[in-house]
Amino acid sequence: METGESFNNGHAVVIGGSIAGLLAGRVLINHFDKVSIIERDYFPETPAERKGIPQSTQLHILLTRGQQILEDLFPGLRDEIIAQGAVVLDMGRDVEWLSPFGWAKRFDSGFEALSFTRPILDWLIHHRLQAFANLHFIEGGYVTGLINSADGTRVKGVKIKTNNQVGKQEVDLDADLVVDASGYGSYAGKWLNAIGYMAPEETFITAQIGYASRLYEIPSDFDADWKGVYMQAAPPERTSMGVLYPVEKNRWVVGVCDTTPGNRLIDESEFLENLRTLPSPIIYEAVKTAKPLTPIRRFQPPGNTLRHYEALKQLPECFVALGDSVCSFTPIYGQGMTVAALGVLQLEECLIEIKASGTLNGLTAKFQKRLAKINASPWIAATSQDAKYPSVKGITKQPTGAEKFIGWYMNQVMKLTTKNTQTTLTLFEVFHMLKSAGALFRPQIILQVLKQVLTERSDKISNQS
Ligand X SMILES: Cc1cc2nc3c(=O)[nH]c(=O)nc-3n(C[C@H](O)[C@H](O)[C@H](O)COP(=O)(O)OP(=O)(O)OC[C@H]3O[C@@H](n4cnc5c(N)ncnc54)[C@H](O)[C@@H]3O)c2cc1C
Residues 6+ apart with CB under 8 A from 217: 250, 251, 252, 290, 291, 293
Rule CB under 6 A: choose which of 73, 104, 121, 181 binds ligand X. 181
Contact between 182 and ligand X by CB under 6 A: the answer reads yes
Please state the closest distance from residue 337 (CB atom) to ligand X, in A.
Answer: 3
Q: What are the backbone dihedrals phi and psi of residue 263, each rounded to the nearest 5 degrees, phi first?
A: -80, 100
The footprint of ligand X on residues 68-107 (CB under 6 A) is none
Which residue in 160, 201, 452 sits closest to 310, CA to CA? Answer: 201
Please state the closest distance from residue 37 (CB atom) to ligand X, in A.
Answer: 9
Q: What is the DSSP letter of 439?
A: G
52-60, 96-104, 125-133, 351-359 -> range binding ligand X (CB under 6 A)? 52-60
Contact between 19 and ligand X by CB under 6 A: the answer reads yes
Q: What are the backbone dihedrals phi and psi of residue 347, each rounded to the nearest 5 degrees, phi first?
A: -60, -45
Rule CB under 6 A: choose which of 282, 337, 342, 414 binds ligand X. 337
Rule CB under 6 A: choose which of 176, 310, 317, 324 binds ligand X. 324
Contact between 10 and ligand X by CB under 6 A: the answer reads no
Q: How far is CA 423 from CA 267, 396, 418, 442, in A?
A: 39, 33, 10, 10
The answer to whether 329 and 304 have CB atoms below 8 angstroms apart is: yes
Rule CB under 6 A: choose which of 28, 38, 275, 433 binds ligand X. 38
**Largest Cα–Cα distance of the chain, in whole Å?**
84
Contact between 349 and ligand X by CB under 6 A: the answer reads no
Q: What is the DSSP letter of 459?
A: H
Contact between 246 and ligand X by CB under 6 A: the answer reads no
Using DSSP's 3-state secondary structure scheme, residue 432 falls into coil
Contact between 180 and ligand X by CB under 6 A: the answer reads no
Please state the closest distance from residue 117 (CB atom) to ligand X, in A.
Answer: 11
Rule CB under 6 A: choose which of 95, 178, 272, 340 binds ligand X. 340
Q: How many residues bind to ligand X according to rule CB under 6 A?
A: 37
Binding mask 200-239 for ligand X (x = CB under 6 A): -----------x----------------------------
Contact between 148 and ligand X by CB under 6 A: the answer reads no
Contact between 242 and ligand X by CB under 6 A: the answer reads no
Which residue in 316, 322, 309, 323 sits closest to 360, CA to CA? Answer: 316
Contact between 41 and ligand X by CB under 6 A: the answer reads yes
CA–CA distance, 298 with 266 (Å, rounded to integer): 6
The footprint of ligand X on residues 261-300 (CB under 6 A) is 299
The answer to whether 176 and 12 have CB atoms below 8 angstroms apart is: yes
CA–CA distance, 150 with 195 (Å, rounded to integer): 11
Which residues of this protein are in contact with ligand X, per CB under 6 A? 15-21, 38-41, 52-53, 55, 58-61, 142-143, 181-184, 211, 299, 301, 323-325, 331, 334-338, 340
